[in-house]
Every structure is written in C-alpha cells, then in structure tokens.
Amino acid sequence: MVWAEGLIAVDWGTTNRRGYAVDADGAMTAEMEDGQGILAVPPGGFPDAVRALRERLGDAPLLMAGMVGSNRGWEEARYVPCPAGLGDLAGHLRWVAPDIAIVPGVSFSDAGRADVMRGEEVQILGAYAAGMIAADATICHPGTHNKWVRLEGGRIASFRTIMTGEIFNLLREHSILADLLEAPAEAGAAFEAGVRHGLEHDDLTAELFAVRARSLLGKARREDAPSYASGLLIGTDIRIGLRDAGEGEIAVMGRPELTGLFAAALKVADRDAREIDGEAAFLAGIRALAELIE
Amino acid sequence: MVWAEGLIAVDWGTTNRRGYAVDADGAMTAEMEDGQGILAVPPGGFPDAVRALRERLGDAPLLMAGMVGSNRGWEEARYVPCPAGLGDLAGHLRWVAPDIAIVPGVSFSDAGRADVMRGEEVQILGAYAAGMIAADATICHPGTHNKWVRLEGGRIASFRTIMTGEIFNLLREHSILADLLEAPAEAGAAFEAGVRHGLEHDDLTAELFAVRARSLLGKARREDAPSYASGLLIGTDIRIGLRDAGEGEIAVMGRPELTGLFAAALKVADRDAREIDGEAAFLAGIRALAELIE
C-alpha cells in the first residue's frame, strides 16, 4: 500500500461524517459530508458504508478518526493514554482491512479525574505537526463536548472535557427554556454579559432559570436570551478550563462558528485567543499520521 | 359561596394535575391525579377540564394553584412580589368564575437576580400556617425546579430556583449519558461521593462527562453512575442554595422520594434537615387561603 500516493481521510462522528480525498502533494481534491454518522450505520454495515464513501472519493487507502473507533463504531480502537503524540497514535492504529485503519482516541486519568477524546486528537496533533501551534500550548476545542487540552513537547499531556455544547443543545431542544432559546446565539452585549456572569459566579444551574424569570418579569429582552444563555455556558466553561491552562495565548480550534464565540468570550476573560480551523488541522493530522505509517 | 362547607383543591402543573376534595373539617375525602397538565388542555378547554374534575371530586368551590395561573394556563394570575404571605396571595386571587379562583405565584427580584415560583408558595405558606415550620425558616423544595426559600415573619422574603431536577431529566432522557443513567438514583456510597464532589467543586459540566469517561475506562462501576450523577447535581444545588440559607435546620419539602435524597445530601453537608410532605403542606395552604377568602 502506498499512502504517499494519496489517501482518503474520514472524520466519522456520532451523527455526521466528513470525508476528504487528499492527493500525493497533500492537497484536498474532493470532499463530502453526510448524516451517515455511526448511529446511522446498521450492524455489520460499515463495509457498505465505506463503499459509498469510495464511490464519492476514490480508491486510495482510508484513514478514519472519531467515534467510528468507539465501542459503538466499526471496531474499537482502544484509547491511547496521555501523554500521547502522533507517534503513539500511529503505533496503535486499528486495522480493519489492509488499506483501512482507525486512529485511536486518547484517555487521561489521575487520582481524581478521568477523561476521553476521539477525533480532536488528530486535529490538535495535526495543528502541531503543521506548525499552527507550538509544542507547548493550551488548546480549547469547542464542540458538543468542549476539550481543554495541554500540549507539552508536542504530545497531549492532559485534558478536560466540559459538556457545554451538549447542555446548550439539551436546553434549546427539550427544556423549559426551549422557546426562549430558538434564535441563534451571537457575540455582542448580551453574550458578553452572560460570559461575565459565568466567569464570576459558580451558579450555572440557578442562573439558567433566571434567564426565564427575567423574561417573564420584563427585566430582560426576550431576544437577548439565546446569546446570554450561550455566553453564560461558555463563560462557565472558560472559568473551569482556564484552571489548567498555562500562561499565554489560547488556541481555539474547531468549527469557525464556535471558535468565534469562544474567542469572543476569552477576550472578556482578558485572554489572547487565536482561532484555528478544525478542518485544516484534521487534514494536517491525517497526512502526518499517513507519513508515519510508511 | 360557602368555602367553609368544603372545597376542591387543585395542584395543576405543566404535565400533571392533582385534585383533592376537602370537607368542612379540613379532612381530605377524595383525591385524583392524572396527566391533564395545562399543556394537555386545548385552547378554551379549561371549563371542560374542570367539569371532569368535578365529576370525580364534587361541586364544592375550587381553589387552584400552579401553572394553571401562568401565561400558558387558564387565565394569568400575576406574580405577587416578595415579601409574600398568605394574606398577599389571598388578596390577589384570580377569579375565573364565581366559585373558582387561581392562586397567584410569587416573584423575587433585586439588582442582580430575578426569580419566579408557582405552586410551591402554597405548600410553604401552608406549612407555616399549620405549624410545620417556624415563621423564620429556610426551605429547600426539590422538584423539576428546586426552590431555596427564606421565610421571614411568616412571609416568603426571597428565593432562588435551581434547575437540578430538569437538568437530571434532560441528561437521563436525551444526553450521551442516557444509557448510563437508566437505573434509579438512590442514597448510598456512590450518591454521597457525588454530593461531596458537588459541594466541594464548581465544575459540574465537566464532572458530568467524567461519569461517562470513568465508566469507559473501567474506573467506576457502571451501576453507580445514576446515584453518583444525582448526588453530583444535588451537591452542586446545595452548595449554591446554602449561600442564602440561615443557620439551623433546613425544611425539605416536596415529594418524599426527592426530599429523602436531599435530606441525605444535606447530611453530607453537615446540615440538619427535616422532611415535610408536600401534599400535606399543600392542603394546609389551600385550607388556610380558603379561610382568608371569607
């Protein structure tokens, strides 16, 4: 197998998947995204699901990351413990066919904590491999489950997951706040007020209800509720995440609509933030891993 | 209308309603509960919904509390601001028919906070009227939205709502933790460990994910997850709620399955707790209000 002649990179999550064809020069030549996350694949259905990917993206070897390697995915690629660098990931690929491998996730535990990630590790170590972040860095990776990551010597040394995105989605879709939170959250005065509350107070589960009460009592504008609630959750997230962060700039990595909100919130916290596109980092990580396979 | 000859008390919530027939001596002679919460009543359907209640509970005058007086209910009974005692509630009943009244909710606001309750006020002031709690007391009222209430001189002086019950239900029904949280939570070592974490740390949205990570990494027993997560949320709730609480005993009021968990958690926090049955307090409150009508 000749990975250097090109490959297909797949970020295969719980509810979505993204695939990219990458040529011998490392350039992306085709991409696709659909709702065929691992929960949409029937038992034994992964070979067929990959055939559909290949029809769109070609016959190159396939390197996959994300929940496809979880115990609900194709085959389980067991977590590599921290500290974990690209070499550690490459040494523990799970081969499901001679030309198809799954990148393992990363785990962290110490006396008090335990944590896991799947998918973000490729972006983070890819960003380092491509020179987008330094060997020693603090990364904030927002998503359904935000990850605060310490990179030391180019390896993931420790990290902490905060369920900020999922909690916001639960509130928006299923809670008593649902009708208040329909509009999109955006940076601005209401968002910053929420961030500030989250940074300065540790009463998230009380303050969320106050969003509703203020609206009922005419003490806040109804249209500010989504941005305030989003800011409140993100400010709370940053208050927790910054405890383990080093000095200096925070690299905020992921989808631009999320990194923009977190970068705005970090500014309220007087921290420098630099946004990094998660897709570019993912492709850099997959290419760097492919080089290590040979 | 002769309220002293008996009445029907209704605790009409969002998803359920409970009705009680009370005789001239204040004794409960019949009761019913069904899923006809206000969201199940079609527009204009409250007169019919009351007819169904009367078929089960008789023709006495009807005094209702809870979300039936909200802007999604029958008619809006506007919030009475703190400080609010039984006389304040009785003075602001919303009459929807000559023999049917809705008890208003209570609101609290100061420079920084805003809060509302509907239904709990009848239980709390009823417990005071019946001598179950003192005129100056701290009440913890768990439910979908837990209320921490300061009673001063027999009136509700201030309160704070914490969304503990709703967040737990959202996690259990819709989150990535759902399959871990299926079993019922119960007091015991795992619950107490969760309470302790919640009391001592302000990282709820991070620690919730650790429940999953520990299970995946084999660092905690899967069967302990519901009790630990429940304890974590309740410990966090108590950490916030105790800030406004006075010295001395906490009256924990509500449904016995919930007051038992909160009382166990307060014990971990080294606070005395006394459980008070919410239904008995509700009936005491409705009877006391009926006496004030005449």
Kindly state the DSSP code that residue A84 receives in the 8-state scheme: B
Residue B36 lies in a domain: yes
Exposure of A47 in the CB half-sphere (CA atoms within 13 A)? 4
Tokens representing residue A47 in the block: 């070979």
- With a pLDDT cut of 70, the percent of chain A lying above it is 99
Q: Average pLDDT, whole number, for chain B?
A: 95
A5 pLDDT tier (thresholds 50, 70, 90):
confident
Distance, in Å, from the CA atom of B178 to the CA atom of B124, rounded to the nearest integer, reads 33
Task: Provide mean pLDDT across the span B3-9.
Answer: 86
Residue A154 lies in a domain: no
In chain A, beta strands by DSSP E: 7-12, 17-22, 28-34, 62-66, 80-81, 94-97, 100-102, 106-109, 114-117, 137-141, 146-152, 155-162, 250-254, 273-277
Nearest to A162 among B205, B219, B233 (CB): B205
Residue A255 lies in a domain: yes
Q: Domain check: are A87 and A177 in the same one?
A: no
Residue A147 lies in a domain: no
B216: CATH: 3.30.420.310
Distance, in Å, from the CA atom of B175 to the CA atom of A161, rounded to the nearest integer, reads 15
Using DSSP's 3-state secondary structure scheme, residue B150 falls into strand
Task: Provide mean pLDDT across the span A44-49.
Answer: 95
State yes or no: pLDDT of B1 exceeds 60. no
- pLDDT tens readout for residues A238-289: 999 999 898 899 999 999 999 999 999 999 999 999 999 999 999 999 999 9
Task: Provide mean pLDDT across the span B7-22.
Answer: 95
Q: Domain check: are B84 and B188 in the same one?
A: no
Tokens representing residue A220 in the block: 């806040």
B100: CATH: 3.30.420.300
Tokens representing residue B237 in the block: 């709730």
Q: Domain check: are B121 and B166 in the same one?
A: no
A220 pLDDT tier (thresholds 50, 70, 90):
very high
Q: Can you give the pLDDT at residue A294? A: 65
∠ CA B146-B173-A199, rounded to 5° = 55
**Which candidate in B38, B106, B163 is best for mutational testing of the A interface (most A CBs within 10 A)?**
B163
B294 pLDDT tier (thresholds 50, 70, 90):
low
In chain A, residues with a C-beta closer than 8 Å to the C-beta of B208 are 163
Tokens representing residue A102 in the block: 């799954």
Q: Domain check: are A182 and A105 in the same one?
A: no
Q: Domain check: are A127 and A217 in the same one?
A: no
Residue A157 lies in a domain: no
Distance, in Å, from the CA atom of A67 to the CA atom of A145, rounded to the nearest integer, reads 13
Of A77 and A2, the structure prediction assigns the larger pLDDT to A77
Residue B147 lies in a domain: no
Q: Domain check: are A104 and A169 in the same one?
A: no
Q: Domain check: are B29 and B109 in the same one?
A: yes
Phi, psi of B101 (to 5 degrees): -130, 150
Exposure of A292 in the CB half-sphere (CA atoms within 13 A)? 21
Task: Provide mean pLDDT across the span B142-154.
Answer: 97
Q: Domain check: are A254 and A285 in the same one?
A: no
Q: Can you give the pLDDT at residue A244? A: 87
Q: Domain check: are B173 and B128 in the same one?
A: no
A131 pLDDT tier (thresholds 50, 70, 90):
very high
Domain that holds residue B255: 162-277
Residue B156 lies in a domain: no
**Cβ atoms of residues A229 and B131 within 8 Å:** no
Nearest to A163 among B209, B214, B219 (CB): B209
- pLDDT tens readout for residues A158-185: 999 999 999 999 999 999 999 999 999 9
Q: Domain check: are A130 and A72 in the same one?
A: yes
Using DSSP's 3-state secondary structure scheme, residue B20 falls into strand
Q: Are the Cβ atoms of B175 and A170 closer than 8 angstroms?
A: yes
State yes or no: pLDDT of B263 exceeds 60. yes
Question: In chain B, which residue's Cα lies nearest the Cα of A172?
Answer: B170
∠ CA A232-B244-B198, rounded to 5° = 60
Total domain count, chain A: 2
Residues from B contacting A (CB-CB < 8 Å) are 71, 79, 107, 109, 113-116, 144-145, 160-164, 166-167, 170-171, 173-176, 202-206, 208-210, 212-214, 216-217, 219-220, 233, 236-237, 239-240
Angle between helices B225-241 and B204-216 (to 10 degrees): 170
Question: Is it true that the peptide bond before B83 is cis, omega within 30 degrees of 0?
Answer: yes
Q: Domain check: are B104 and B185 in the same one?
A: no
Q: Can you give the pLDDT at residue A26? A: 85
Q: Domain check: are A119 and A181 in the same one?
A: no
- pLDDT tens readout for residues B39-92: 899 999 999 999 999 999 999 999 999 999 998 899 999 999 999 999 999 999
**Cβ atoms of residues A233 and A164 within 8 Å:** yes
**Cβ atoms of residues A152 and A272 within 8 Å:** no
B2 pLDDT tier (thresholds 50, 70, 90):
low
The alpha-carbon gap from B170 to the nearest alpha carbon of chain A, in Å, equals: 7
